[in-house]
Amino acid sequence: MSIENDPVLAEAARPVSVTDVPVIEPKPSGLRNLLEWVVIAGGALLVAFVIKTFLLQAFYIPSLSMAPTLKENDRVLVNKLSYDLHDVNRGDVVVFKSPPNEGSATKDLIKRVIGLPGETIEARDGHVVIDGKVLDEPYLDTDIETRGPVCHTPSLPGCVGSDKVVVPADTYFVMGDNRANSRDSRFVGAIPDDLIIGRAFVKVWPVTALGLL
C-alpha cells in the first residue's frame, strides 16, 4: 500500500507548521530583572567606593597657585597608592589635607614637592637653592621667580630666621608653581607625610589639555 492510500501514514508524513505547535509564553521576569539591576548597581557602587577610597580620586584645582601647570577649575587624578609603593620624590605634584594653620576653608590643597626631609632650602636671586645647589625648575613661567624669603613665619619648625629652612624629619617642603600667588610651606611650614593624600599624575580636564603631570 502506498503512503498516498494510507491516511494514517499520510498524516504522519505531513510537514508540521509552527502554527500547529503550542506556544510557550515566557513567564514575567520583572522581579528578577529588578534584582539583577540592584545587584549590578550595588556592585558598581562598591567598586567605585573602593577605587575612590584606596586607589584613585579626582580633584579640582581651586585657585591659581599652581599656574601655569594647573589652572583654576582644572581636574586631576590622584594616585593614592603611590607613596605606599615608593618614596615622595622632588618635583611630585601632591594633594594633601590642609594643615590646621593654613587658614583656608579649602579642605585639600595641591602643591609641588620642593624639599625633602633633612634638606636645607634657601632663596637666592629669585631661585630655590637646596643644599647649596640651584634647583632647575622648567615647570615655572620664565617670568615667575621665587618671591621673598623661604620662611615668612620664622617661628615655624625648621626655620632659620627667614633666610633658610631645614626641612624637619617626616615632612616635605611644598610650593605652588605660581610663586607670587601661593600660600605654601613658606607660610605654613613643611607638610607632614601623614597629611599627603597622594600624587597627582594626570590632568583630565579640560580634555584639550589632557596629559601627564
pLDDT band (50, 70, 90) for residue 175: very high
Is residue 111 among the annotated active site residues?
A: yes
pLDDT of residue 120: 97
Question: CA 130, CA 145: separation in Å to the nearest integer?
Answer: 15
Query: Is the pTM for the entire model greater than 0.85?
Result: no
pLDDT band (50, 70, 90) for residue 15: low
Residue 41 is assigned to a structural domain of this protein: no
pLDDT of residue 56: 83
3-state class (DSSP) for residue 168: coil
Average pLDDT over every residue of 142-155: 76
Residue 50 is assigned to a structural domain of this protein: no
pLDDT at 144 > cutoff 70: no
Give CA angle at 201 (195, 206), nearest 5°.
115
Which residue blocks in the chain are alpha helix, DSSP H? Answer: 7-13, 30-50, 82-85, 185-188
**Residue of higher predicted confidence among 142 and 82:** 82
pLDDT of residue 53: 58
Residue 45 is assigned to a structural domain of this protein: no
Average pLDDT over every residue of 2-30: 58
Average pLDDT over every residue of 142-168: 84
pLDDT band (50, 70, 90) for residue 186: very high
Residues above pLDDT 90, as percent of the chain: 48
The total of structural domains in the chain comes to 1
Residue 155 is assigned to a structural domain of this protein: yes
The one catalytic residue in 82, 111, 185, 203 is: 111
Query: Which CATH number goes with the domain that contains 194?
Result: 2.10.109.10
The one catalytic residue in 63, 65, 182, 185 is: 65
Q: What would the pLDDT profile of 80-132 be if each residue is shown by its tens digit?
A: 998 988 999 999 999 999 998 877 778 899 999 999 999 999 988 888 999 99
Residue 34 is assigned to a structural domain of this protein: no
Q: What would the pLDDT profile of 36-90 be if each residue is shown by its tens digit?
A: 777 777 776 666 665 555 578 889 898 999 999 999 999 999 999 989 889 999 9
Residues 161/75, Cβ–Cβ less than 8 Å: no
Residue 141 is assigned to a structural domain of this protein: yes
Quote the cell numbers at residue 71.
589652572
pLDDT of residue 96: 96
Question: CA 79, CA 46: separation in Å to the nearest integer?
Answer: 18
Residue 39 is assigned to a structural domain of this protein: no
Taking the CB of residue 198, how many other CB atoms lie within 10 A of it? 21
pLDDT of residue 38: 73
Residues above pLDDT 70, as percent of the chain: 78
Is residue 2 among the annotated active site residues?
A: no
Burial class (CB in 10 A: 0-12, 13-18, 19+), 93: buried
Expressed as residue numbers, the domain containing 112 is 59-212
Residue 14 is assigned to a structural domain of this protein: no
